[in-house]
Each structure stands twice: as structure tokens, then as C-alpha cells.
Amino acid sequence: MAQNTLGIQDSADSNSHLYYSVLLVDDEQLARQNILLIVEYISKRYLKAPTPIRFTIGEACNGLEALEYMAKTDVDILIVDIQMPKMNGFQMISALQTQNRKPPAIIFVTAFDKYAIKAFEVSATDYVLKPFTLERFEEAFARALQRVESFQQKTHYEELLAFISSHPLFDFSLEQDSSEQYWQRLTLHSGKRNVLVSVDTILWLSSAESYIEIHTPDANYLLRGSLRNAELHLDPKIFVRIHRSAIVNVNYIKAIEYNAHGDGTLTLTDGSEVKFSRYQKDLLLKVLAAKS
């Protein structure tokens, strides 16, 4: 078992940083080292964020060793293989979920696609097939980090409610509205006028260099920003990243067509056709299943 803390310095601004922990679990040392190098590379980008993020990275060669590690150390992001000796990835997750501990965001990294549905049944954040590209892994890592941050926001909110309920000075009640954290309406430019667009009318979004193209039944609009930023502000129960350059509103999907490689095309209710990646197929199907 090994641990590596990236970029931590004794500096005056250390309190302005966020700190998260990552655990890599794979019985193959070479595979584990490859993922370690990728996570170290990705982490350097987060150091340049407006609020820098630093990561502590641990390693375990099997499920038992990972559970031992997590019994002593909180883990925010768990990157785990499935087929391992002594205890496979699912057995490890099952054992972890019986403990009253903070749940990590889970990324399964495996060479087998047959476990994808089961992975999401145990609340995995993503399912990455070997071999994978750097871009694919970055997407999974960003999604896991988003889940960690969402969990922390929820925890802070619950702590605030507990504080309010225990202090009679506060005689009002609060009801959580999870939709408030997501965009509800957008003010978009159309020629020389501004248009107020309800987010639930958006069919899909695509990247257009430094802009996002927003497609609605009535018109298309450009919004300065990135799809990554949009993804953070859209309800994941409705909007799914189906490709590196596209996010779709699942409420407007009319048909799904697959090709021989596992990729495919979505046909929307307005007749638009949007390609989806095989890497995002399982997440798309999971969201659709949840709405059925």
C-alpha cells in the first residue's frame, strides 16, 4: 500500500486550496502505475483552477487491502478494477457500503464491458473500459469530482438544518429544493435582443469553440462557455453528456440507433440527430431507465 500527496506546500495560501483523496485499486501493478501517472497528470490542471485542488493518491493491490486503507483514511474518489484475487471490485464495494462511512465517488476501470449495468446498480459514477484514452479518463475523473463536491454541498446543507433545528432562535423551517443548484432559466442573445429561455425546453447542447450552442424547438443560441461548465449546472437526471461535444435532454429522445462499434445516433422529437459515444451509452441508458 502506498500514498503520494501531490503538490502540497507549506505556504501562506495553503488554506485557499481544496484537498481530496484518491485511491487506486488494481491487482496488476503496471495497470495501477499507468493510472497513477494519468491521475498525477490530471491533478496538475486542477492546481491551476481559481480555487486550486490538491490530491492525495493511495494505492492498493486488492479489495482487502483497499478496505484496510479506507478504514483509516477517508477516500473521496475510488478508482477500482473489477476482477481481482481474494475480493473482486463488487465484493469490495458491497463490504464498503455496510460501513457507516462517507461514500466515495466510484470509477470502475476494467477490460470487461459485461459488468456495466451492475456497476451502476452500486452507484458507480462511471465505467471506463480498458484500453481508454486520456480524454475518456479525464471525463470520468471530472464526473467523480463533481459527485464529491455535490455530496459535500448536501452535507453542509444538512449540517445547517441540524443547527437551525437545535436553536430555538430560528422559528422558521427550510425545505431543500435540489433544483436550485441547477439552471432554471437562461438569458440568451438573439440578434439585438435578449431572450429568456426555460432550461427544460432545451433539446440539446453542443460545443462551438469557446461557446456552447443551445438548441431549442424555436431557435438556436450561442452562450459563451464550455460544455463542462454547462454540465455542472444542468440536472443530471435530465441532461446527459453523450459525447465530448454534446449534452442531450433525455425528455426529447424519440429513438436510439446503434452501430456496429457500440456508438450510435439519437433522434430527438424535433427530428434532430445527435451522435453518442459508446463510452457514454451506459450512463445514458441508466438515466433513461430511471425516468421510465
Distance CA 220, CA 67 (A): 50
- Output the average pLDDT for the chain: 80
Q: How does pLDDT run across 26-38, given as a tens digit for each residue?
A: 999 999 999 999 9
A 10 A CB-CB count for 44 gives 11
| Whether 200 contacts 235, CB under 8 Å | no
Do you know the residue count of the chain? 292
| Whether 78 contacts 107, CB under 8 Å | yes
Distance CA 50, CA 102 (A): 26
Distance CA 250, CA 287 (A): 8
| Whether 100 contacts 70, CB under 8 Å | no
| pLDDT band for position 2 (cuts 50, 70, 90) | low
| pLDDT band for position 168 (cuts 50, 70, 90) | very low
Check whether 233 has a pLDDT greater than 60: yes
At residue 117, the pLDDT reads 80
189 torsion bin: left (phi>0), alpha (psi -120 to 50), beta (else): beta
Identity of the amino acid at 229: N
Question: Which residue reads 435532454 in cell numbers?
Answer: 249
Check whether 179 has a pLDDT greater than 70: no
At residue 271, the pLDDT reads 93
Distance CA 85, CA 63 (A): 8
Q: How does pLDDT run across 61-100, given as a tens digit for each residue?
A: 999 999 999 888 889 999 999 999 888 888 888 888 776 5
195 torsion bin: left (phi>0), alpha (psi -120 to 50), beta (else): beta
Q: How does pLDDT run across 6-58, given as a tens digit for each residue?
A: 543 333 344 456 889 999 999 999 999 999 999 999 998 888 877 788 899 99
Domains and CATH numbers, the chain: 2-151 (3.40.50.2300), 181-291 (2.40.50.1020)
Tell me, yes or no, if the pTM score tops 0.75: no
Helix (H, G, I), strand (E, B) or coil at 22: strand
| pLDDT band for position 150 (cuts 50, 70, 90) | confident
Distance CA 238, CA 251 (A): 7
For the chain, state the CA radius of gyration.
21
